Amino acid sequence: MSETRFTRADAYRTATSALMVVLGIVILARTLASGPHLLALLVGVGFVGLGAHRLSFVVAYFRRGGSV
């Protein structure tokens, strides 16, 4: 059985996923502060949701015992 490693590409995907969550929170905070707009709320929730979904794969990888 071959061991999979956490590569630079994986680290890049993890960093961009975390940034997506942060960006989504910033979008939501600014939108709610200036008056809610439907499109901005959808984009903010979309960023948070997609970033969290991508990060769930990273968490699952490390729970399976993945190595860095």
Domain boundaries, the chain: 8-62
Q: 6-30: per-residue pLDDT in tens?
A: 889 999 999 999 999 999 999 999 9
Q: What's the distance, CA 53 to chain centroid?
A: 6
Instruction: Specify the higher pLDDT residue, 40 or 68.
Output: 40
